[in-house]
Amino acid sequence: MEALLASFKDFTLGNAIMFLIGGVLIYLAIKKDYEPMLLLPIGFGAILANIPSSSAIGEHGFLTILYNAGIATELFPILIFIAIGAMIDFGPLLQQPFMLFFGAAAQLGIFITTIFARALGFTLKEAVSIGIIGAADGPTSIYVANLFAGNLIGPITVAAYSYMSLVPLIQPPVIKALTTPEERKISMDLTLCKVSKTTRILFPIFVTAIAGLLAPMSVSLIGSLMFGNLIRECGVLDKLSQAAQNELSNLVTLLLGITIGSTMIAEHFLTIKTLLILGMGLFAFVFDTAGGVLFAKLLNLFLPHKINPMIGAAGISAFPMSARVIQKMAQKESPGNFILMQAVGANVAGQVGSILAGGVLIYLVSKMTL
């Protein structure tokens, strides 16, 4: 009888709070449809990890084995990148290459948040891992956090995916605060150039080579994304492309989520650092949005044909949610104003920009701390 009650005796208030947090994540996934593919496994993983003497974690626990095999080695995020690459259609970006610059500007949150985190006393590697939440890209956040601050991977992942799902709530007030109704009403001419299949095939190959030469540490991130895209665009690997987009993506997402959840053990998760990370994650998304909008406004000082500054906000990586938010706001200001294609172009650029910024940061910080 005593053996049966042993686990109850070891059950702490911290474990109970983690059960509650796990439950909230599962609730948000099911009831609110907030990134359910990630938040549900993370929530359940957190519950599994907080059962005293849980056989799911520890030396022979399956979640620890998965962690060592898939997260510690960075394998899961890399596989996810291949899947994402196979899902991305770079067409809107290739047709409007100018949108690339918004994909860079809307990474501002990463850099501002890193400086802010550093000022709050986090180490450089921890600060970069927190700042990268602003990439608005879950796998990049996991990749960088695991490399630089493995102890913070749980809260960073939860923050990244939670705020990605909250983009429709986070971006509109920031955009409204930085733009006038007249600016939001600006309509943009749509001039799309034709993109050949050869261009679509050569683009991922050249981008990998260039990004690799500029920042060698970004090769794993960019290379896997572009490999997935090459499979999609080559036209002779449809089965592999479909497998990457469906089976690979679903399976790795499932394992990634539950494994990340297993790192959310009460004594590591319930700290002031977690609260700070959650706060700074929001800060990063706000400054990403502001960076994109302000950059577009800066360009408008020089361009003869004005850009709707809301397009800049779509330069974050949360695809396609951000583009949809921008189109919805544009139509609300001026019914009939259709800027979805431009927003999608900026949004795709954001996916390239976030991975690139992550790779560059890894390169510079690794060089610095060698």
Partner 1 sequence: MQDTLLITFKIMLQSLGITFIAMIVFYALIKVLVTCFPEDN
- Binding segment toward partner 1, per CB under 8 A, in 48-56, 174-182, 198-206, 268-276: 198-206
Binding mask 139-178 for partner 1 (x = CB under 8 A): ----------------------------------------
Is residue 191 at the binding interface for partner 1, with CB under 8 A as the rule?
Answer: no
Shortest separation between residue 283's beta carbon and partner 1, angstroms: 14
- Cα(279)–Cα(123) distance, integer angstroms: 17
Report the residue from 202, 275, 298, 303 that binds partner 1 according to the rule CB under 8 A.
202
AA identity, residue 267:
E
Shortest separation between residue 142's beta carbon and partner 1, angstroms: 19
Classify burial at 370, counting beta carbons within 10 Å of its beta carbon; exposed 0-12, middle 13-18, buried 19 or more.
exposed
Is residue 120 at the binding interface for partner 1, with CB under 8 A as the rule?
Answer: no
Judged by beta carbon, residue 100 or residue 307, the one nearer partner 1 is: 100
Residue 120, φ and ψ in degrees, nearest 5: -85, 0
Is residue 298 at the binding interface for partner 1, with CB under 8 A as the rule?
Answer: no
DSSP letters spanning 19-31? HHHHHHHHHHHHH
- Binding segment toward partner 1, per CB under 8 A, in 20-28, 51-59, 209-217, 301-309: 209-217
Is residue 46 at the binding interface for partner 1, with CB under 8 A as the rule?
Answer: no
Residues 153-185, buried b or exposed e (16+ Cβ, 10 A)? bbbbbbbbbbbbbbbeebbbebbeebbeeebbe
Judged by beta carbon, residue 194 or residue 239, the one nearer partner 1 is: 194
- Binding segment toward partner 1, per CB under 8 A, in 29-37, 47-55, 91-99, 136-144: 91-99
**Look-up of token digits 């994304």:** 225
Is residue 20 at the binding interface for partner 1, with CB under 8 A as the rule?
Answer: no
Is residue 32 at the binding interface for partner 1, with CB under 8 A as the rule?
Answer: no
Binding mask 347-366 for partner 1 (x = CB under 8 A): --x--xx--xx--xx--xx-
Is residue 97 at the binding interface for partner 1, with CB under 8 A as the rule?
Answer: yes
Do 126 and 117 meet the contact criterion of CB atoms below 8 Å apart?
Answer: yes
Nearest to 49 by CA among 270, 235, 207: 270
Judged by beta carbon, residue 111 or residue 227, the one nearer partner 1 is: 111
**Look-up of token digits 């999609």:** 232
Classify burial at 276, counting beta carbons within 10 Å of its beta carbon; exposed 0-12, middle 13-18, buried 19 or more.
middle
Residue 34, φ and ψ in degrees, nearest 5: -85, 105
With CB under 8 A as the rule, give the number of residues binding partner 1.
44
Do 157 and 142 meet the contact criterion of CB atoms below 8 Å apart?
Answer: yes
Helical (H) or strand (E) element with 12: none
Judged by beta carbon, residue 41 or residue 134, the one nearer partner 1 is: 134
Report the residue from 42, 215, 256, 344 that binds partner 1 according to the rule CB under 8 A.
215
Is residue 236 at the binding interface for partner 1, with CB under 8 A as the rule?
Answer: no
Judged by beta carbon, residue 73 or residue 206, the one nearer partner 1 is: 206
Distances from the Cα of 79 to the Cαs of 148, 225, 228, in angstroms? 20, 9, 9
- Cα(166)–Cα(349) distance, integer angstroms: 20
- Binding segment toward partner 1, per CB under 8 A, in 64-72, 194-202, 318-326, 333-341: 194-202
Token reading at 344: 């999608």
Do 262 and 67 meet the contact criterion of CB atoms below 8 Å apart?
Answer: yes
Q: Note the residues at the interface with partner 1 (CB under 8 A).
A: 93-94, 97-98, 100-101, 103-104, 107-108, 110-112, 114-115, 118-119, 124, 127, 193-199, 202-203, 206-207, 210-211, 214-215, 349, 352-353, 356-357, 360-361, 364-365, 368
